[in-house]
Amino acid sequence: MGGLSRYYVKFTFLVLLTIISLIILSKQSHYETYPNHVHYSSLYMKVPNSAAAKFGKRYANDAFPTSNLTGRLPTTNLSAFNVLGYGNASLMIRMDTPREELAFSLSPKNISCKDGAFKKRALWSMIVCVKSNIKNGKRRNIIRLTWGAQKMLHGVRLVVLYIVGKDEKINQTEINEEQERYGDLLQIDIKEQYTNVGWKVLAGMQWIKTNCQSHWFYSSADDDMMPDLQKVYDEIHNEMTADNSENMPIICQNSLRNNEGPIRDKRYRNYVPHEHYSKDSYPSFCTGGFYSMPASMSNALYQISRYHKYFYNDDVWLTALLRLSAVDAGFVWCRDVTNQFCGLAKFKGGSVQHAFGDEKVMLDKLSKMYASRYQPGAVNL
C-alpha cells in the first residue's frame, strides 16, 4: 500500500503541475509586447477590479445602462466634468435613446484588425482611420506609397483605413474602381462638407467596434498629415511603460490645445452658438490631425457619443468633452478625476507634421522619410 500511496502522490503532483502550467499558458495574453517585454494588457488594466470590469463590460454591447440616469451618464459628482461645469452644456445632455448607427455605401474588403488574419506575429498593432475628402485621391495614394506602406515597422503592425463621404461632383464609378483596386475605403452616406467631418470619426469608431480586437490601437488622422511612425510608436510605447500610467490615455501627436474657446463669430464655419456651449473655454483637447488611443477606449467613446447630440467640432467633442464624460462615468480611470487632463497624455510633439493641404510638400517630405519603400514617379501631381 505504501508504494501505491507514493505513486498516487506523484501522479497527483504531476497532474496538478500540468493543470497549473496550462492555466499559466492560457493567461499569457496574445497582446503583443514591445522589446522590453512589458505587457500592454496588464498596464492598460492597472485599475481597481470594479473599474476594470465596468470599463470592459459596460460598453461592450449596444445596450446602455438606463437605471438611475438623470439627464446624462452616471456621475461621481467629483470629476472635472462636473466640478468645472462641462456637463451643463446642452450638447452634453444625455438623450433617452441612442442615435442610429451610420450606414456604409462601401466597406473595406482588404482590411482586417484581428490578429488571426495575419501570418506574422506583431509586437502590437495599430489601425489608422484617415478622414479623407472623397476628391483627395492623390493624398490617399501618397499615403499608400509612403507611411501607409509600412505594414510592419520594428515589430509594430500598421493598417490604414480611409473614410470618405459623398459628392455629386465626383464620379462614384472612380471611387468604386479605387475600392476595387485597394479595398481600403469606408464610405458613409453623408455629404462631403466641413461640419460632417465628425461623422467620419464616428464611422471609423463604429467600424472598429464591430471589426477590430479591443487590444489594438486606434488612431484618427487627416489626409494631409505626415507622421514619423517610429516617433509615433515611441510615444505610444512610452505611455505603455510609464510607471505612473494607470490606464492608457489619449495621445495627441499633432498638437494639444489648452484654454481655447468656441468661435462666436457667425462668419466662421466653426461658429458655436451660446445655446450649444455656454462656457468661454473648452477642456484641453487634441487637434484632429493625428491622435491615438486603445481601441477599447475608442469603443467606449463611440458608445457614449450615441447618447449625446452630434457636435461637428470632433476633436473637442471626442478628446475633451466625451473623454471627461467617460472619466465621470468610470470608464476611464486616473488618480485625480478632478483634473481636466485625466485620460489625456502629456504632449511631447514632433512625431507628426501638417502639410496644410499641400500635396507637393506631402510627397516631397514623405518620399524622403520613407525612401526605402517609395518608388519615384509613383504619384503624379
Residue 336 lies in a domain: yes
Q: Are 8 and 126 in a shared domain? A: no
Q: Which long-range contacts (CB under 8 A, 24 or more apart) does 172-179 make?
A: 174/137, 175/106, 175/134, 176/106, 178/137, 178/140, 179/106, 179/109
pTM: 0.79
Quote the domain boundaries for residue 161. 49-369
Q: Are 107 and 17 in a shared domain? A: no
Q: What is the 3-state secondary structure (H, E, C) of 229-252?
A: HHHHHHHHHHHHHCCCCCCCCEEE
Q: Which of 22-31, 74-83, 132-141, 246-255 has the lowest mean pLDDT?
A: 22-31
Residue 84 lies in a domain: yes
Flag whether pLDDT at 144 surpasses 90: yes
Q: Are 338 and 247 in a shared domain? A: yes
pLDDT in the model for residue 380: 55
Q: Distance between CA atoms of 320 and 299, rounded to whole angstroms?
A: 16
Residue 297 lies in a domain: yes
Mean pLDDT score, 217-221 = 96
pLDDT in the model for residue 146: 95
Residue 376 lies in a domain: no
Mean pLDDT score, 157-177 = 96
Identify which of 70-84, 220-234, 325-339 has the greatest average pLDDT. 220-234
Flag whether pLDDT at 6 surpasses 80: no
Count: domains in the chain: 2
Instruction: Answer with the residue of higher pLDDT: 302 or 71.
Output: 302
299-356 per-position pLDDT tens digit? 989 999 998 889 888 899 999 989 888 877 777 767 777 778 888 888 877 899 999 9
Residue where the block lists cell 514591445: 34
Cell of 323: 473623454
pLDDT in the model for residue 46: 33
Q: Are 16 and 156 in a shared domain? A: no
Q: Are 24 and 60 in a shared domain? A: no
pLDDT in the model for residue 288: 82
Mean pLDDT score, 369-377 = 68
Q: Which of 56-60, 157-161, 341-345 has the lowest mean pLDDT?
A: 56-60
pLDDT in the model for residue 281: 86
Residue 37 lies in a domain: no
Q: Are 101 and 188 in a shared domain? A: yes
Q: Are 18 and 64 in a shared domain? A: no
Secondary structure (DSSP) of 142-208: HHHHTGGG-SEETTEEEEEEEEEEE-TTS-HHHHHHHHHHH--EEEEEEE-SGGGHHHHHHHHHHHH
pLDDT in the model for residue 370: 92
Q: Are 145 and 18 in a shared domain? A: no
Residue 57 lies in a domain: yes
Q: Are 13 and 87 in a shared domain? A: no
Q: Are 217 and 320 in a shared domain? A: yes
Q: Are 24 and 143 in a shared domain? A: no
Q: Are 19 and 161 in a shared domain? A: no
Residue 251 pairs in a beta bridge with: 292
Mean pLDDT score, 100-128 = 92
Q: Pick from 355, 239, 216, 349: which is nearest to 295 by CA?
A: 216
Give Cα 315 to chain centroid, integer Å. Answer: 12
| pLDDT band at 91; cut points 50, 70, 90 | confident
Residue 38 lies in a domain: no
